[in-house]
Amino acid sequence: MALAFKEMGTLLVADAADPNTTPPAESRIFDVKRYASHGEYADGIGFYLEFTGGAGPTADVEVWIRDKFAGTWSLVTTFAALAGRVYKSVRAIRTAEVFLRVAVIAGAPTNVKPRVATI
Name all domains of the chain by residue range, CATH numbers in brackets.
6-118 (2.60.120)
Q: Tell me, what's the pLDDT at 38?
A: 63
Q: Burial of 45 by CB count in 10 Å (0-12 exposed, 13-18 middle, 19+ buried)?
A: buried
21-34 residue pLDDT tens: 999 999 999 998 88
Identity of residue 32: V
Identity of residue 119: I
Residue 36's pLDDT band, with cuts at 50, 70 and 90, is: confident
57-102 residue pLDDT tens: 999 999 999 998 898 999 999 999 999 999 999 988 877 899 999 9
pTM: 0.93
Q: Tell me, what's the pLDDT at 92?
A: 80
